[in-house]
Chains A and B, each alone.
Chain A
Amino acid sequence: MSDKKNVEHNHDEHHHHHDHSLLPEEPELRVKAIETLLLNKGIINSDTVNELIDTYEKKIGPRNGAKVVAKAWVDPEYKKRLLENATKAIEELSYTGRQGEHMVVVENTPVVHNVVVCTLCSCYPWPVLGIPPTWYKSDEYRSRTVREPRKVLQEFGLELDFNTQIKVWDSTSEMRYLVLPMRPVGTEHLSENELESLVTRNSMIGTGLPELPK
């Protein structure tokens, strides 16, 4: 547990008084220093910072992407627009803004499975998927997905038919991808809302498939 670092004290420095506040980890102190200096200079504003955190914690996440996918499943015209110009089609649902420019939607078919990675850092389509999960930012995922995608997908529990071609898309700050997964069989009777609830985050990154209807 990395939280334990919090309670590691340098006892030379504070003479064994244990009633003080918990000393944060080194990176947290560095963030505080950056924040203090920028606030004092008026370059950032604490309300804006807090609002941003709140937005990405509570308001923007993969449910947005799920709405895009479900709409594409039920509306062939929308799907056509989405594949032709994803940024514009996603804008129709008002999911715009930071890291939402230059979107490309890649469609899974019975013979092609798409998976998205950012080998350099963690470029990711925030307006439709929110903040990337931790594993997406790990060195292992970033380096191995290009090298051995089939094996990586197996570790996510995804066993693809050997004949299925896997296409790996490497995101950049100029190009961000969203996978359009295949609509699960046996869902013809479901409404757009019901379909939306089957779409998982991993299915839009390509490391999973949509859930099956219960």
Chain B
Amino acid sequence: MINQNNFDFKSFEKPWHGQIFAITVSLSENKVFEWSEFSKALAEQIKMDKTEKQNGSDDYFFSWIKALENLIIKKDIVDQSNLNITKQKWKVAFLTTPHGHPVNIN
């Protein structure tokens, strides 16, 4: 049964869905890659991550993140270890910044 009721009028259910979307559109507009190149990568990633429960929300955008990461690594814009290190920095920042304060790294 297809679940149709969820947040039907919201473009992005969570802020990070909108973030990754906008970052990707921005990169394609800056000619880092063609949109068709990204959509092919996304389709392949979705296929790889495929589960019957894939509901088109978090899991869909998680596939999107992985597709984008791989594409920008392939284009030599970032590398995997930099991504990991930066992610870890954010994690530490969230765990050490007092609640209510803006969380920043660098």
Interfacial residues, chain A to chain B (CB-CB below 8 A): 2, 13-14, 17, 19-25, 27-38, 41, 43-45, 48-50, 52-53, 56-57, 61, 98-99, 120-123, 130-131, 133-141, 144, 152, 155-156, 173-174, 207
- A139 contacts which of B36, B39, B43, B54 (Cβ < 8 Å)? B54
Having A29-B87, A30-B65, A34-B20, one finds 15 other A-B pairs with CB under 8 Å, namely A14-B96, A21-B95, A33-B84, A33-B86, A34-B65, A34-B78, A37-B83, A50-B22, A53-B19, A53-B22, A122-B56, A133-B4, A134-B56, A141-B2, A173-B40
On whether the beta carbons of B27 and A43 are closer than 8 Å, the reply is yes
Residues in B5-63 with C-beta less than 8 Å from chain A: 6-8, 10-14, 16, 18-23, 25-27, 30, 32, 35-36, 39-40, 42-43, 46-47, 50-58, 60-62
Interface of A is mostly: helix
Q: Closest residue to A3 on the B side, CB-wise?
A: B14
On whether the beta carbons of A49 and B56 are closer than 8 Å, the reply is no
On whether the beta carbons of B3 and A135 are closer than 8 Å, the reply is yes
A interface footprint on B61-75 (CB within 8 Å = 1, 0 otherwise): 110010011001000
